[in-house]
Amino acid sequence: MADPFEVRMRFTSLLHHLNASTTSALKAAHYALKHAEYADDLHSCILEQLERNNMNNRANIMYFLPALCDTARAKSDAGGVGAGAGEVYVRMMERDILRIVDAVAPDDGSGAANVKVVRRVLQGLQGKAYLQPQTVTELEECIQGRDTANAASSPGHNHAGAHTDGAMHGVVRSTPRSSARDSLSHYPVQRLDKRQIEQRIEEDRERHKRAREGIWAIPQESTSLREDVEFDKMWTEGEGDEDDLLLAREESEDRGRGLEYEET
């Protein structure tokens, strides 16, 4: 059996070196599943790193959570010895989701750049049934305004604002609001240096590129050319920026006018 301290230190290092690549997230997820007997300890590592690291690291850990849940589900579906052990990570994530969101995007303005990250990950977790829709709705209500509230107190906000979003407040079932608020009271307002800002921009570009690469793989359930599944997905899930949505809308309208002309 591996030494618990060594497992904890190794996992902490993996979390600290997470980046926009799927490889780093999967590496950390597989390590957590490999040592699922220490799930409680490793989950506490996630919470500690969220509370201690800078804004960029917090965002990377937030993006890591779906990878961990997916890996746990895949192991559970595969069956075998210890197949259900990984599900404990999903349950602990759901239990502490309020604390996680508050750590990634605090309401003191220092996490304004992470509000969009929080929203995107929450929607993904809901879509895969890791979180209940009611829970996500409550979390969405709690983070309303966190991308702008007290933003003036966050020195890096003006530079990283184009790649940002905030955190959450509300009462989510099974997680006391008071304890989450108390755990955030010591958070300092962090100043992002130029290197961190450039790193965040580059990582956001990488994630955006990967998201766009997967758009073409969306199954078209209908043979009708009038139905544009790619545009509908982009519109409902908010993928891409305003220019991407505008371009997709114009292409959809052009295709519709072309079909009308052919039918006449």
What average pLDDT does this structure show over 216-239? 59
Q: What pLDDT was estimated at residue 148?
A: 75
* 191-210 confidence digits (pLDDT tens): 567 787 888 888 888 887 76
The helix/strand/coil state of 172 is strand
pLDDT tens sequence across 67-124 = 999 999 888 877 654 556 678 999 999 999 999 999 999 988 888 889 999 999 999 9
Structure-model confidence comparison of residues 243 and 226, the more confident one = 243
Alpha-helical segments (H) within the chain? 4-16, 22-34, 39-52, 55-78, 87-95, 97-104, 115-127, 133-142, 157-160, 177-184, 194-213, 229-237, 242-263
Residues 149 and 109: beta-carbon distance below 8 Å: yes
Q: How far apart are CA 136 and CA 143, in angstroms?
A: 11
Residue 77 confidence (pLDDT): 76
State the pTM of this model: 0.66
The two structure tokens encoding residue 254: 């052009």
Task: Specify the CATH architecture of the domain 4-213.
Answer: Alpha Horseshoe (1.25)
Contact assessment for residue 229 and residue 219, using Cβ atoms and an 8 Å cutoff: yes
For the cut 60, the answer to whether the pLDDT of residue 166 exceeds it is no
Domain ranges of the chain: 4-213, 229-263
**In Å, what is the CA distance from 90 to each residue of 11, 37, 72, 129?**
17, 14, 8, 10
